[in-house]
């Protein structure tokens, strides 16, 4: 981008405050620290932080950036942070966290800064379930613009399939509504395309009438990893769509919130949710309970409000590095390959190596198609490691070794929400060729000057 005025970037930034009605923080000023993401490993040093409170603040920032040669990106919680450099203005949405539930229509209207916990708090007293992911601390909009794979994914599909509409500021600074009937191309691209086309200011979602579920986790000692993983892989293939499960080899540090029985050692967690006939859900889990004696068994009938307890993801900010591989199948050979690289005695430095069973409703195209691809994978394999400076390189290298170990069963694809990065090879892993083409074409239309910038925006490649 060229700077279309005589002002330097520094001079121009001083005038940014005139374009918004909220707090703007330049480096070193109070409020600038709000750019620090949940994933503190991401280097985030924007030109300015706009603490947006209204859609107009977002639109004003985008228009200002276009006029002065900056790019703009957005952050709510920083759970999906990639680096942000000094030529980019950050729109920080966490103050826009309103959430209004309509219990009759079974919908919620949710601001761009809300976390899933905000929606759980507002919806579950009505017996209604928002389709969050494993961690209620994750942002609603960031999750939904990446598709959204939750603990009920096989039962309900991607959470973004349950979006009714968005309010969004597009890259050309317009505030638009996007629904299946209105700006349908934008509605298509915002569900899966992350911030490629615009900064969402609010979203309307369906709430499902699910008040409780049978679920939680069985934790086994690491020495039982081979028996548990092999049993899980053959057990899960026959499960009905009302049941969801994932399994994780965990090496959790002794931190607040980590049960003593699980800290500082290798354990295996079998996560489980069943809806509908809860007694049948209990019966279906019995074979896994019989594989070995568990260290801890938290599986019981739970209120939907407790859905975050199934995975028990970390809450406090930390430096993490992730990698994802989607698998087309999980034969015993794949399980053994995984155990060899990440199981007992492997020396794995990963905090979590997780397999989530997919399929079911996720594999079916929803009524309103979207830019979320990769519905047909059978399993997601995710490695999550602590990216502390002393071990970060080892963790990343080992994550590559895990990916190589399962390569014969991997599709070579990934999902937008997992392992975000600037890797130029990533878009082709996340999107089909058609989807990439259409997202780039829509970006030419809704962000012709290329104002929006994050690690994940899709643009036409110009020769």
Ligand X SMILES: Cc1cc2nc3c(=O)[nH]c(=O)nc-3n(C[C@H](O)[C@H](O)[C@H](O)COP(=O)(O)OP(=O)(O)OC[C@H]3O[C@@H](n4cnc5c(N)ncnc54)[C@H](O)[C@@H]3O)c2cc1C
Q: How many beta carbons lie within 10 A of that of residue 332, not counting itself?
A: 11
- Cβ 346 to ligand X, closest distance in Å? 23
Cβ neighbours of residue 348 under 8 Å, at least 6 residues apart? 249, 251, 341, 342, 398, 402
Count the residues in the chain: 463
Contact indicator for 128, 101 with CB cutoff of 8 Å: yes
Q: Is 378 in the site for ligand X (CB under 6 A)?
A: no
> Residue 418 CB, nearest distance to ligand X (Å)?
6
Check residue 39 and report its DSSP letter: B
Among 71, 134, 244, 380, binds ligand X (CB under 6 A): 134
Of residues 200, 248, 351, 410, which one binds ligand X by CB under 6 A? 200
Q: Does 304 bind ligand X (CB under 6 A)?
A: no
133 forms part of the interface with ligand X (CB under 6 A):
yes
- Tally of CB atoms within 10 A around 381: 25
Contact characters 309-348, ligand X, x per CB under 6 A? ----x-----------------------------------
Check binding of 252 to ligand X (CB under 6 A): no
Query: What is the total count of residues that contact ligand X (CB under 6 A)?
Result: 32
Interactions with ligand X, residue window 14-53 (CB under 6 A)? 37
Q: Write down the least CB distance from residue 148 to ligand X, Å.
A: 5
DSSP category for residue 256? T
Residue 452, H or E segment: none
403 CA to centre of own chain: 20
Backbone angles phi, psi at 21, to 5 degrees: -110, 20
Is residue 157 a contact residue for ligand X (CB under 6 A)?
no
Whole-number minimum distance, CB 419 to ligand X, in Å? 9
In the region spanning residues 431 to 450, those forming contacts with ligand X, defined by CB under 6 A, are: none
- Whether the CB-CB separation of 142 and 96 falls below 8 Å is answered with no
Q: Among 48, 129, 135, 325, which residue interacts with ligand X (rule: CB under 6 A)?
A: 135
162 binds ligand X (CB under 6 A): no
Binding to ligand X by CB under 6 A, coded x per residue (else -) over 48-77, reads --------------------------xxxx
Q: Residue 409, Cβ neighbours under 10 Å: how many?
A: 21
From the list 89, 56, 86, 61, the residue with the least C-alpha distance to 75 is 89
Helical pair 225-236 and 332-342, crossing angle rounded to 10 deg: 150
236 DSSP assignment: H
DSSP class of 78: -
- Write down the least CB distance from residue 150 to ligand X, Å: 6
Q: Shortest Cβ distance from residue 134 to ligand X (Å)?
A: 4
Spatial separation of the C-alpha atoms in residues 48 and 251, rounded to whole Å: 38
Q: Are 217 and 271 in contact (CB under 8 A)?
A: yes
- φ, ψ at 391 (rounded to 5°): -120, -5
Q: In the bound complex, what is the minimum distance in angstroms from residue 61's beta carbon to ligand X?
A: 12
* Residue (346 or 454) nearer to ligand X, CB: 454
- Is 160 one of the binding residues for ligand X (CB under 6 A)? no
Name which of 200 and 231 has its Cβ closer to ligand X. Answer: 200
Show contacts with ligand X in window 72-131 (CB under 6 A): 74-81, 93, 112
386: contact with ligand X by CB under 6 A: no
**What residues make contact with ligand X under the rule CB under 6 A?**
37, 74-81, 93, 112, 133-135, 138-139, 141-143, 145-146, 148-150, 194-195, 199-200, 313, 417, 454, 456
């Amino acid at each position: 981008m060229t700077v279309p005025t005589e002002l330097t970037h520094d001079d121009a930034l001083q005038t940014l405050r005139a374009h918004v009605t909220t707090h703007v923080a330049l480096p070193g000023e109070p409020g600038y620290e709000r750019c620090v993401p949940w994933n503190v490993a991401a280097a985030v040093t924007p030109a300015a932080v706009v603490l947006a409170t209204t859609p107009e603040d977002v639109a004003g920032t985008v228009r200002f950036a276009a006029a002065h040669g900056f790019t703009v990106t957005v952050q709510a919680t920083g759970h999906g942070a990639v680096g942000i450099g000094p030529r980019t203005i950050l729109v920080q949405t966490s103050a826009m966290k309103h959430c209004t539930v309509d219990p009759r229509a079974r919908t919620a209207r949710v601001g761009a800064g809300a976390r899933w916990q905000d929606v759980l708090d507002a919806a579950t007293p009505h017996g209604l379930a928002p389709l969050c992911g494993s961690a209620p601390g994750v942002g609603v909009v960031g999750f939904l613009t990446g598709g959204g794979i939750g603990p009920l994914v096989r039962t309900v599909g991607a959470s973004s399939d349950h979006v009714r509409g968005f309010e969004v500021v597009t890259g050309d600074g317009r505030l638009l509504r996007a629904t299946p009937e209105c700006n349908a191309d934008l509605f298509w691209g915002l569900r899966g395309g992350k911030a490629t086309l615009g900064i969402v200011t609010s979203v309307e979602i369906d709430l499902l009438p699910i008040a409780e579920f049978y679920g939680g986790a069985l934790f086994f000692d690491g020495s039982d990893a081979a028996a548990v993983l092999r049993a899980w892989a053959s057990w899960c293939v026959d499960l009905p769509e009302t049941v969801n499960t994932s399994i994780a080899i965990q090496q959790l540090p002794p931190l607040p919130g980590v049960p003593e029985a699980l800290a500082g050692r290798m354990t295996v967690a079998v996560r489980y949710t069943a809806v509908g006939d809860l007694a049948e859900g209990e019966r279906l889990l019995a074979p896994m309970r019989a594989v070995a004696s568990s260290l801890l068994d938290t599986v019981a009938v739970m209120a939907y409000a407790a859905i975050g307890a199934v995975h028990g993801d970390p809450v406090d900010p930390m430096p993490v590095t992730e990698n994802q591989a989607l698998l087309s199948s999980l034969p015993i050979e794949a399980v053994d390959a995984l155990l060899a690289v990440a199981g007992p005695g492997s020396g794995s430095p990963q905090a979590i190596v997780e397999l989530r069973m997919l399929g079911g409703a996720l594999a079916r195209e929803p009524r309103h198609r979207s830019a979320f691809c990769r519905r047909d994978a059978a399993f997601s394999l995710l490695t999550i490691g602590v990216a502390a400076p002393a071990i970060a390189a080892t963790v990343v290298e080992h994550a590559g070794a895990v990916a190589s170990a399962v390569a014969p069963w991997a599709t070579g694809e990934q999902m937008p929400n997992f392992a975000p990065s600037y890797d130029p090879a990533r878009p082709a892993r996340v999107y089909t060729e058609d989807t990439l083409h259409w997202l780039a074409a829509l970006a030419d239309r809704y962000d012709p000057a290329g104002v929006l910038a994050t690690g994940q925006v899709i643009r036409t490649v110009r020769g």
